[in-house]
Structure 1
Amino acid sequence: MEKAPTIRENIYTIPNLLTLSRIAACPVLGWSIVNDDFYLATGLLVYAGLTDLVDGFLARRFNMRSVLGTILDPAADKMLMTTLTVTLAMKDLLPVPLAVIILGRDVLLSLAAFYIRYTTLPPPKTFTRYWDFSIPSAEVHPTGISKVNTALQLLLMGTTTIGPILPFDIALPLQALQWIVAGTTIWSGASYVFAKDGFRVVSSAAKNRPPTTPPSTPPSS
């Protein structure tokens, strides 16, 4: 029996590089918050937001989408969120129980992602192939509540970060937002447990595709 060819894709795209730059900025962002440089932290948050918009636009407009992009983009968001959650909690700007809820959900979802990568990787399942992300195996589809939760978390973290440099007190609206984010974080974590379309196996999709049809691309960078 002839062995099926391994599906590969171009991962060296501008959107992926922009996403990697957001990841690289996270340590600097954390350092700036720990050292009370909230002006630099605010600037880095603006950069992260702009590059997130630009890489999504480029991926759609110039067909630079990739399965790796569907993994890197949420990974960059999670790394940004983890950096902000940890450092803001260290500075007593974010309640520790809320930080535990946010980080706990992300840890569980990360473990699930590692498991999905292994189970959907086309054979042979070797260590080298597992970490070769030019070999797509599954693409992630965030649930609706997860998208809302991510937006609310970013709003909370951004508002908390710029709070120290504002000329007025925002403690009361921040407290209300914290309770909302706690609820949506728990809800979004539960939604992945029951979602039937949280991810799509790429190799299976390729098998069901007509021979003359080029490989499809995922809907986001």
Structure 2
Amino acid sequence: MNRFPLTFRGLSNAFPSTRPLRLSPSLLRHSTGLLRPSRNFLSTQTPPPKPVLKENIYTLPNLLTVSRIIACPILGWSILEGQFHLATSLLFYAGLTDLADGYLARRYKMQTVLGTILDPAADKALMTTLAVTLTMKGLLPLPLTVIILGRDALLSLSAFYIRYTSLPPPKTFARYWDFSLPSAEVRPTDISKANTALQLLLMGATTVSPLVPMDVSSGLQGLQVIVGVTTVWSGLSYIFSRDAVRLVSSKTKSKP
């Protein structure tokens, strides 16, 4: 191995009284080793981001549900104007689409978390429209309307809170209203399903009653009591039931 030192002659000529600076090859090899990047540094990589769970919300069942919501203002107008034939037709359409969207979602595997939110929201919009307008026409007692709307308001506030607490971070305004990012799924209880059916029966019978030639007031009053009791019962069932709300994660729902 060559052991001859390297000499910087320019420095030795400028400063003749000093010794020339000599760097041996071994010193150069040792110093260059300090400049080599660490293998651990090169192998360190940022972990890939976790996949964001999304689902297709533009399905036929969801569109049918939205159409039911859009029909509510027309239904309310027809009741206030005394157009009970039109109101009955729209109520029949609402019931038909309610059955159709549920069947299509189950039959063709088109269930979405948005659907679990839209479907009860459409029912509540329909109930609210019917309860308010029928009460304004004097066909429905005010205390029963307060019970129905009060329970629905409490359930709606609870749904907003559950959506916020179950939404994966970051919790932004845009992500909160992006329902293609599922966070929690609301499952109606058995008594809630029965109460919804009874409410629809009461609202339908009350809407049709002006078109019926006979007196049906006694039957409607009995049905009103049953609806009032089951409405309170169904509201309490969401509080004490463990299966009413289910958190959604990538493990429980596969990506489309």
TM > 0.5 fold call: yes
After TM superposition, the runs of 4+ consecutive aligned structure 1 residues lying more than 6 A away are: none
Find the aligned partners of 1:184 and 1:56 in 2 and give their Cα distance.
23
1:64-213 map, 5 Å: 64-203=110-249, 206-207=250-251
SS in 1 for 2:138: coil
Question: Which residue is equivalent to 2:103?
Answer: 57
Secondary structure at the counterpart of residue 200 of structure 1: strand
Q: CA RMSD in A?
A: 1.4
- What is the TM-score with the length of structure 1 in the denominator? 0.92
* Residues 116 and 186, structure 2, Cα contact 8 Å, conserved in 1: yes
Does residue 215 of structure 1 match 2:254? Answer: yes
Please state whether the residue corresponding to 1:75 is helix, strand or coil. Answer: helix
SS class of match (2:170): coil
Name the residue aligned to 1:18.
64
Aligned residues: 210
> What is the aligned-residue identity percentage?
69
Gaps of 5+ in 1: none
Q: Is the 8 A contact 2:53 2:255 kept in 1?
A: no
Q: Which has the larger radius of gyration?
A: 2
> Which gives a bigger RCO, structure 1 or 2 (Cα 8 Å, sep 6+)?
1
What is the TM-score with the length of structure 2 in the denominator? Answer: 0.80
Looking at structure 2, the residues matched to 179 and 191 of structure 1 have their Cα atoms a distance apart, in angstroms, of 19
1:48 aligns to 2:87 (yes or no) = no
Contact 2:55/2:255 (8 A) holds in 1: no
Report how far residue 6 of structure 1 moved.
1.1
**Equivalents in 2 of 1:102, 1:216: separation in Å?**
37
Is 2:163–2:183's contact at 8 Å kept on the other side of the alignment?
A: yes
CA deviation after TM superposition for structure 1 residue 216, in Å: 8.2
Shift of 1:2: 3.9
Paired residue secondary structure (1:172): helix
State the 1:201 CA deviation.
0.4
Which residue does the alignment assign to 1:7? Answer: 53
Q: Distance in 2 between matches of 1:68 and 1:187?
A: 26
Between the aligned partners of 1:128 and 1:180, the Cα distance in structure 2 is: 42
Within 2, Cα distance between the matches of 1:168 and 1:216? Answer: 56
User: What's the CA shift for 1:3?
Assistant: 3.0
Counterpart of 2:97, as a letter, is T
SS where residue 89 of structure 2 aligns? Answer: helix
Q: Could you list the per-position Cα deviations for residues 4-53 of structure 1 after superposition, in whole angstroms to 9, with x for gaps in the alignment?
A: 21100000011100000000000000000000100000000110111111
Structure 2, unpaired ranges of 5+: 1-46
Q: Identify if the C-alpha distance between structure 1 residues 23 and 216 changes in structure 2 by more than 3 Å, giving closer, same or farther.
A: same
Q: Distance in 2 between matches of 1:197 and 1:55?
A: 23
Alignment partners' CA distance in 2, 1:193 and 1:58? 30
